[in-house]
Amino acid sequence: MRRAALVAILFGVGLTASAQVAPALALFPVVVKFIGMIFHRTPSTPSGQPTVTETPGLTLEITDASVHAAKQSCANWTWAAAVETMVAPEGVPVTQDDLVTRAEGGSVCKDQSPNFERMTHALDGNFYLEDGHKVHLETRNVTGAPTVIDDILMSMKTQHPLILFWKGRAYLLKGVVYSEFLISSNGAKVFEIDELKLVDPIASKPEEREVSFVRDRDDANEINGVMDVRVVPEDSQSWLHPETEYGKNHRSPAERPQPGLAPPPRTIN
């Protein structure tokens, strides 16, 4: 089985600088490369050459991460369960049944997740919360093995889960184990991911829920892609200023003016 490395190169910046990237740009390249081979280092450094300092075994993990159980033990329900998990804290009214029906044209069971085009079509759009506020669901996808390692690290650092598609099934990505390499000549940092910690929505037993993709054991070619799902307020400033037109038209149901009663029917003698 061919081994592959997941590597990110950040020239002169670390995770703090990555935090300046807007959430909508998550999973899109900044200064990152995916290298389809093991990162080789010579055992000794010739005189006058830059040194590489390795810090292995670094971990970023979302505290107490869990995923909603898939309502059907089918691969195409795993992504719906993962999405439902990600948007539920924001109060977005979407269910697994809704998502599968939108993506597949019906409540069907398949051994592969839908393609990214179908999933994006099912997800992207506006939704009204119970309090009347309007939000926008926005997805970002990367096909194949992860290409933006710094954004993955930042998502874990900010406790924001992602969805990893592996062998046709979706898993909630809840943590990473990685190594950092610091190049002395210019301060460049290289992040090499060694393990992706996942939660399986259709594991039959609770103790089988947590699984891992290990770089030196598993095949990166079997990773189908990564998805990020963001809940974006339609007009966050207007939420703070209800005197705006948005605030007038998007009050909670209890605050909205009720239409007047229809006049009683006329009696014709």
pLDDT tens digit sequence for 120-167: 999 999 988 888 889 999 999 999 987 668 889 999 999 999 999 999
Question: Tell me, what's the pLDDT at 4?
Answer: 43
- Choice between 174 and 257, residue whose per-residue pLDDT is larger: 174
In angstroms, the first-to-last Cα distance of the chain is: 91
Of 202 and 188, the structure prediction assigns the larger pLDDT to: 202
Residue found by looking up tokens 């950040």 in the block: 10
CB under 8 A, 24+ apart: contacts of 230-233: 230/23, 230/24, 230/26, 230/137, 230/138, 230/139, 230/140, 231/87, 231/90, 231/92, 231/135, 231/136, 231/137, 231/138, 232/23, 232/24, 232/135, 232/136, 232/137, 232/138, 233/133, 233/134, 233/135, 233/136
- b/e for 19-46, b at 16 or more Cβ within 10 A? eeeebeebbeeeebebeeeeeeeeeeee
**Is 225's pLDDT higher than 90?**
yes
pLDDT for the residue numbered 269 = 46
pLDDT tens digits along 27-86: 333 323 333 333 333 345 555 678 999 999 999 999 999 999 999 999 999 999 999 999
Region 221-238 average pLDDT: 83
Model confidence pTM above 0.75? no
From the list 149, 157, 154, 167, the residue with the least C-alpha distance to 225 is: 167
Q: State the Cα–Cα distance between residues 61 and 218, nearest whole angstrom.
A: 20
Tell me the average pLDDT of the chain. 76
Q: What is the 3-state secondary structure (H, E, C) of 134-195?
A: EEEEEEEEEECCCCCHHHHHHHHHCCCCEEEEECCEEEEEEEEEEEEEEECCCCCEEEEEEE
Residue 235's pLDDT is 61
What is the average pLDDT across 22-28?
36
Residue 11 has pLDDT above 50, yes or no: no
CB 8 within 8 A of CB 148: yes
Task: Pick the range with the lowest mean pLDDT from 12-21, 227-236, 243-252.
Answer: 12-21
**What percent of the chain is predicted at pLDDT more than 90?**
54
- What is the mean pLDDT of the segment spanning 86-99? 92
pLDDT at 3 over 60: no
| Res. 119: pLDDT tops 70 | yes
Confidence label for 203 from pLDDT (cuts 50, 70 and 90):
very high
pLDDT, position 128: 87
Rounded Cα–Cα distance for residues 93 and 95 (Å):
7
For helices 116-123 and 96-104, the axis angle rounded to 10 degrees is 130
Closest C-alpha among 125, 96, 119, 138 to residue 231: 138
Residue 186's pLDDT is 84
pLDDT in tens, 96-113: 999 999 999 999 999 999
